[in-house]
């Protein structure tokens, strides 16, 4: 059971916010990796999953690269989480018990049932455009000039 999204999802959100800020797509994956501070090989694996989920699109070749498949305001953190973590990323027992269920609860069962739904709703409410705006307000995550 996790209480935070995985490092993979965190890397993806940073990389996607860099893509969202790219004014001249497609972006080179090396530039996105540099912007998001993610190793290129690791980002390539993440991009494959995001491409499969329809969050990014890509084209190979000298004029290729990656770009958002739809506007940042239409991509939620829940979309990204589901693409990388899977449908059941909030399931399971908060205390890690394999035996916890509605029939056989742990001490935190009712709390977790209620709060994981709140987490899901917040991830759905928060859009990639919100993340980009946050980073821009802090002057973080700028794409290199050659990718703009």
CATH number of 15's domain: 1.10.10.10
Q: Is residue 61 part of a domain?
A: yes
Q: Is residue 117 part of a domain?
A: no
Residue-wise pLDDT for 64-110, tens only, equals: 899 999 999 999 999 999 999 988 888 888 888 888 888 888 999 89
Q: Is residue 67 part of a domain?
A: yes
Q: Is residue 111 part of a domain?
A: no
Q: Is residue 17 part of a domain?
A: yes
Domain residues for the domain of 73 are 7-87+127-147
Q: Is residue 141 part of a domain?
A: yes
Q: Is residue 135 part of a domain?
A: yes
Query: How high is the pLDDT of residue 119?
Result: 92
Asked whether the beta carbons of 64 and 26 are under 8 A apart, the reply is yes
Nearest to 66 by CA among 137, 125, 18, 101: 18
| CA 12 and chain centroid, separation | 4
Residue-wise pLDDT for 26-47, tens only, equals: 999 999 999 999 999 999 999 9
Q: Is residue 113 part of a domain?
A: no
- Structurally, how many domains does the chain consist of? 1
Q: Judging by DSSP bridges, how do beta strands 65-68 and 56-59 pair with one another? A: antiparallel
Rounded mean pLDDT of 45-55? 96
């Amino acid at each position: 059971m996790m209480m935070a999204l995985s490092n993979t999802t965190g890397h993806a959100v940073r990389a996607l916010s860099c893509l969202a800020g790219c004014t001249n797509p497609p972006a080179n994956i090396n530039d996105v990796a540099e912007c998001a501070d993610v190793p290129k090989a690791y980002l390539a694996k993440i991009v494959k999953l995001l491409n499969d989920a329809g969050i990014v699109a890509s084209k190979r070749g000298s004029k290729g690269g990656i770009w958002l498949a739809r506007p940042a305001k239409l991509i939620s953190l829940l979309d990204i989480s589901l693409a990388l973590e899977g449908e059941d990323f909030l399931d399971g027992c908060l205390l890690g018990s394999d035996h916890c269920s509605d029939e056989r609860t742990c001490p935190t069962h009712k709390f977790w049932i209620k709060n994981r739904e709140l987490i899901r709703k917040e991830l759905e409410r928060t859009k990639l455009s919100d993340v980009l705006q946050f980073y821009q307000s802090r002057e973080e995550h700028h794409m290199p000039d050659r990718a703009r």
